[in-house]
Each structure stands twice: as structure tokens, then as C-alpha cells.
Amino acid sequence: MTAGVWQIPTHGMPRPTWLALRLEGLGGSDAAAACGLSPWKSVYGLWLEKTEATEPTEDEDRHLQWGRLIEEPILLAAREETGLAIQPHRFMVFNRSYPWAYYDTDGVLGEDGIFEAKSANGKSDEWGQPGTDEIPMPYLLQVQHGMAVMGKAFAILAVSRWGRWPDIYRVERHESLIAGLMRKEAAFWDRVERNQEPPMDWEHPQATAEIQAAYPGTDGTTVDLPAEAARWHETVAEANAEIAAAEAVKARFLAKIRKTMGNAAVGMLPDGTAYTRKQNANGKIILRHVKRP
């Protein structure tokens, strides 16, 4: 193993121990979030997690479990597809050059390569042609982080989209990208150690959920909000009014469609899509727009 690099075996490690170990640093799946480039978690959300201000949700925990369960079948398929001697890797790797970082790869290829098994159900245009290095930014940063920590030269990713046979991608080590990534990670981890909140990205798609997770209840106290909160309230009131107006328009035109349909089960639109009747959880019959009736 490369000088200054050591590893802890994870095979058979109790899950609570493994989860606790992940909080002691930044892993590959944290790299994009630490840089503010993850669609699944903001910098603030990652800071909450690493400072143990919030705990993983049930969905996040099950996602982690699922990821580990599918590693082996994807690895075996990738081995068959490529002919490469990909070996499972059950160790968490550390590097003295990056004391805040670790990497827990799915597999290794000889002395120079790492392997990652992925299951992806997102848009296909996020991925380039198999055989290239055109992969989504979060995965690119993940494997560059891994190559930095483990001292490797390339990464192979096997990606099973929608449960299909995996596509194979190869990414080479990129020194300047690693240098910038590690600077950002070091700055982020410094905030964790000093318990200093990072700026909140209010435009991030997970911002609302992260705030709800950070402040889920009440302590019964009263606080005076700042003067600018009056403007926030006005914005909320305006948004509520716009929502109410839009809902009224929606209800009116759905009523027109319902009247035109009468008691028909399906109402076909000129573009080939349709409205159908569906009973909701409260037993109420509602109209639902579908691509195919």
C-alpha cells in the first residue's frame, strides 16, 4: 500500500460502528456536497450531518443499505463485461496527507485502480457514452476523492440504470481537480471542527428539508424576529395568494373537463394523453392526467 495510507477492515463491522466511523471525516459520497455541487445535499446539510446536529433519515439509511447490497451483483456483471480482475474491497482507507478524508471503495483493480458500483434511475442524458469518462459531477468528484485518498491512477464505474445490465465508464486521475477538491474539503472540515455554520444555500433543492430536520420541534420559548422578517412574511403572504389563485383556476378548468366527460371513465386529449377517474385515499373520485389511458 502507498506510504502514508492505512486501512480499517469493514467486513463484519457492526453497522452502528460503520456509521459512526463515517462521521469522523469526509468520504467520497461527501465530496460533491462539501463543494456545494451535490443535488442531494447542500453544504449546510452535510455540515449538520457531520456535526451530528441531525441524524440520517430512514430513507437515507435504507439508501445506504441498498447501495451496499447491490455492490456484489454489479461487480460480478462488470467483471464479466470487461474481463478485468475486479476484486471486492472491504476496507475504509485513510491517508495522512488528507487527515479529514477516508474512502470506502467497492472494489480494486490491481495496484492502480478503484471500482465503484452504481445504481442510477435518473435522466439518461446525465451520462455520456459507455467507455468514456462522461459521468455526473457528484460521481466524478467521488472517484477523484477516492483516487487521492488511496493513491490510485484510475477508476472504473459500473452503472446499472433502471436495473439493467451495467454500463462501464473509466475515469483517469486528474491532479489539478484533486488539488482544488481537497482544498474545498479541508476548508469545509475546518468549519466542522470549529462548529462554524457554512452559508445557507436557500436555492438548493434540499434546503427546506434540511432546515426542517435541523429544527423539528419546539422548546416553548418566544423570540423576537429581525426587522427583515417582515419582508419574508410579505413574500410568504404573496406566495400564498398566488397559490390560492392558481388553485382556483385549476379547479375551474378541471370542472370544465369533468362536465365535458360526464360519467365517462376516460377523456382523450388531442395529443393522445388523457384524463381518467381515480379514487384517492379519502374515497373521493378525482381526475388524473395520464400519458396513456
Q: Identify the pLDDT of residue 250.
A: 96
**Each residue's pLDDT tens digit, 139-191:** 999 999 999 999 999 999 999 988 889 999 999 999 999 999 999 999 999 99
Q: What 3-state class would DSSP assign to 20?
A: helix
Q: Identify the pLDDT of residue 88.
A: 94
Using the predicted structure, report yes or no on whether residue 61 has a pLDDT greater than 70: no
Q: Are 42 and 208 in contact (CB under 8 A)?
A: no
Average pLDDT over residues 113-120: 93
* pTM, to two decimals: 0.84
How far is 150 from 93, CA to CA, in rounded Å?
Answer: 7
Q: What are the boundaries of each domain within the chain?
A: 5-214, 230-290
State which fold the 5-214 domain adopts. Lambda Exonuclease; Chain A (3.90.320)
Q: Identify the pLDDT of residue 66.
A: 75
Average pLDDT over residues 96-104: 96
The CA distances from residue 30 to 139, 187, 288, in Å, are 10, 14, 39
Maximum Cα–Cα distance for the chain, whole Å? Answer: 76
Percent of the chain whose pLDDT exceeds 90: 80
**Each residue's pLDDT tens digit, 187-245:** 999 999 999 999 999 999 999 999 999 999 999 999 999 999 999 999 999 999 999 99
Range in 113-117, 121-125, 133-137, 246-250 with the lowest mean pLDDT: 121-125
Percent of the chain whose pLDDT exceeds 70: 96
Q: Identify the pLDDT of residue 101.
A: 97
How far is 68 from 106, CA to CA, in rounded Å?
Answer: 8
By C-alpha distance, which of 103, 70, 105, 102 is closest to 87?
105
Cell output for 274: 388523457
Q: Are 51 and 191 in contact (CB under 8 A)?
A: no
Q: Identify the pLDDT of residue 112.
A: 95
Q: Identify the pLDDT of residue 155.
A: 98
Mean pLDDT of the chain: 92
Residue 266: pLDDT band with limits 50, 70, 90? very high
Q: Identify the pLDDT of residue 284.
A: 86
How far is 47 from 27, CA to CA, in rounded Å?
Answer: 13
Using the predicted structure, report yes or no on whether residue 2 has a pLDDT greater than 80: no
Residue 120: pLDDT band with limits 50, 70, 90? confident
Residue 122: pLDDT band with limits 50, 70, 90? low
Q: Identify the pLDDT of residue 100.
A: 96
Residue 292: pLDDT band with limits 50, 70, 90? confident
Q: Identify the pLDDT of residue 200.
A: 93
∠ at Cα 114 (63, 67), nearest 5°?
10
Q: Cβ of 126: how many Cβ atoms within 10 Å? A: 14
Torsion (CA) 197, 103, 136, 214 in degrees, nearest 10: -30
Cell output for 38: 451535490
